[in-house]
Amino acid sequence: MSYQAYLITIKQKTGKGPADFRAMAEEKGFTKSGELVVKATEITNWLKADFELGHGHAMAIYALLKGIKNEDSV
C-alpha cells in the first residue's frame, strides 16, 4: 500500500486529514511547534484507541508527525 493510500483510507475512516492530525497532536502535547516530543508508542496507542486505526495506519500518521513523510510522499 502506498503512503497516499494510507492517507486516503485514514481520511475515509476518520474524516480527518494530515492537518487535522497535526493540530490534534499539538493540542495533546505530542508535538511542540510541530516537533514530535513523544515516542511512537504514545502516538500509535492514541490513534488505535481514539480512531480505531490499525498499526500500519497509525504508523503512517506517526511518520507524518515525525516528518519522515508528508502529504506529497508516495
Q: What is the mean pLDDT of residues 13-23?
A: 98
Residue range 41-55: average pLDDT?
98
Using alpha carbons, list the distances in angstroms from residue 11 to 7, 8, 43, 57: 6, 5, 17, 11
The answer to whether 60 touches 10, Cβ cutoff 8 Å, is yes
Q: Would the pLDDT of 8 be above 90?
A: yes
Confidence of residue 10 (pLDDT cuts 50, 70, 90): very high
- List for the chain the helix, strand, coil content (%; round to 5): 65, 5, 30
- Determine if the pTM surpasses 0.85: yes
DSSP-based three-state secondary structure for 36 = strand
Q: Where are the domains of the chain?
A: 3-66
Q: What pLDDT does residue 38 have?
A: 98
